[in-house]
Structure 1
Amino acid sequence: MKKSHVLLLLLVQVIVLLPLLCLSDDFVSSRATYYGSPDCKGNSQYEFYLGACGYGEFGRYINDGEVSGVSSRLWKNGAGCGACYQVRCKIPPHCNEEGVYVVATDYGEGDGTDFIFSPKAYGRMARAGPEFQLYSFGVVDVEYQRVPCRYGGYNLVYKIHEKSYNPHYLAVLILYVGGVNDILAVEFWQEDCKEWKRMRRAFGAVHDYQNPPRGTLSLRFLVYGSAGLNWVESQNALPADWTAGATYNSNILLS
């Protein structure tokens, strides 16, 4: 066969394969259920005081209450807190095609499930009309994929946890992490030692340190995502007079 014919054949094969590649996805098969909640939103008392991620009331209302507790393999000892997923149930004709977009705000699993939804998120997987029938199943087969988180108007955001007490105890709660990224570690710069000090992951998305340095603090975050493993720094992240409950929008934009 002539070389030109071989090249033409390869080109035809590529043209045929491209649509198939574009149609492929990375959905993973699993199961999902839901927990009871008086207002159908996330339950701040579910599984752990203020939730295993530490979000508290914030975890009830983020993403309009369409949230989920996730299994240990998705929770990742807290690094998976705040991750976003598209989840579709697989019980035709009860389920819609798009499924639901949820934010992981807690830890929870059982009966082979990767997701324990708020009632509102669970019902969002149904076609218009048969939501109550979907609830009656209790546990359903699903498929899911991780998708980018998008928080319009926010960079990486962190909050001083309510248990913090300046200057003796500092706990930082990471709230918004854009894109498909996990925060693996948090460190602060200690000027007198000229070195970065690692904070402890207390639980979920909360990192803490006893007796931190006084004065303005710079923070850096170890981020694992589509760009690989990288440290990103927020200079002067916390003012010297930081107070419990205060929230700070950093100069770090993750996408």
Structure 2
Amino acid sequence: MASFLRHSWSFSFLMMGCILTIVGRSAGAYAPIFRPSPWAIAHATFYGDESATATMGGACGYGNLFNNGYGTDTAALSSTLFNDGYACGTCYQIKCAESPWCYRGSPFATITATNICPPNWAEDSNNGGWCNPPRTHFDMSKPAFMKIAEWKAGIVPVMYRRVPCIRSGGLRFSFQGNGYWLLVYVMNVGGGGDIANMWVKGSKTGWISMSHNWGASYQAFATLGGQPLSFKLTSYTTKETVIAYNVAPYNWNVGLTYKTNVNFH
């Protein structure tokens, strides 16, 4: 009898373990996982000086990169990579390759895309027009460039790959516009780092689709003043959707940035 009870309890715990395992796998089965891409070939230059003050602002609209969590490890992308601004916030590992200016051991820099490197059609693509399509090019901040090569090189061949963005804290929403036109810059995006679609919801409205303005900004032409606002976002890379409820209070205002505790994986 004692032996039977021991076997029964063992069987019960085994079944419970299997059930918990199945539930855990089922719950995570649909969670998108963004893995690093294969390494590819490009070139890199730098702009600005060691302070990286020249990299502040930029086409993505992140403003002060120090205050908004991006620091100095950033780069402007050639239009081939920039993808009309949908690449804003994406993260890359970059390492110098096949140049005497590369640091020994091929260390890499992990950068965030915060700007566009526009074409320079007055120069040849191989001699000054580094960001002319269809070239894949990174114009890095000088501190980021100096992590992979001697700055005197000016330009170096690199290997690069997309990697998940690791962010501390939740999404941030910077408000611009007015009570009838809401323009929102989305910052501190984890996971793929990018946004494909965005919706806003007031306490008196349903979900309103927002259109892509430029860079990391989305807009809604709607009367939303005097309502607490929530946002729904879908990642361009992973297709994951997150909802940030009650991001801004009913008395929200333009010129302010509102933080949340939700983010992409």
Which secondary structure state, in structure 1, belongs to the residue aligned with residue 71 of structure 2? helix
Distance 1:120 1:241 in 2: 40
Aligned to 2:146: 123
Alignment: residue pair count: 213
TM-score (norm 1): 0.74
User: Residue 160 of structure 1 corresponds to which residue in structure 2?
Assistant: 175
Q: 1:94 aligns with which of 97, 102, 120?
A: 102
Looking at structure 1, the residues matched to 88 and 147 of structure 2 have their Cα atoms a distance apart, in angstroms, of: 21
Alignment of 1:1-255 (within 5 A): 26-37=38-49, 39-44=51-56, 50-58=57-65, 62-90=69-97, 91-92=99-100, 94-95=102-103, 96-108=105-117, 110-111=129-130, 112-126=135-149, 131=150, 135-152=151-168, 154-161=169-176, 164-165=177-178, 167-189=179-201, 194=206, 196-214=207-225, 215-225=227-237, 228-255=238-265
Shift of 1:92: 4.3
Query: Which structure's CA Rg is the greater one?
Result: 2
Name the CA shift for 1:25/1:183 in 2 (closer, same or farther; >3 Å).
closer
Contact 2:44 2:139 in 1 (8 A): yes
Q: Structure 1 residues 181, 216: CA separation in 2 closer, same or farther (over 3 Å shift)?
A: same
Unpaired segments ≥5 residues, structure 2:
1-35, 119-128
- Secondary structure of 1:120's match? helix
Question: What TM-score do you get using the length of structure 2 for normalisation?
Answer: 0.71
- Provide closer, same or farther for how the CA distance between residues 105 and 60 of structure 1 changes in structure 2, counting only shifts above 3 A: farther
CA contact (8 A) 1:86 1:144 kept: yes
What is the alpha-carbon distance in structure 2 between the residues aligned to residue 253 and residue 230 of structure 1? Answer: 10
How far off its partner does 1:83 sit? 1.2
SS in 2 for 1:73: helix
* Letter paired with 1:68: A
- 1:82-138 per-residue CA deviation (whole Å, 9 max, x = no partner) reads 111110011246324222111111011542342001111111112xxxx3xxx2332
Q: Is the 8 A contact 1:33 1:113 kept in 2?
A: no
Shift of residue 190, structure 1, vs aligned partner: 5.5
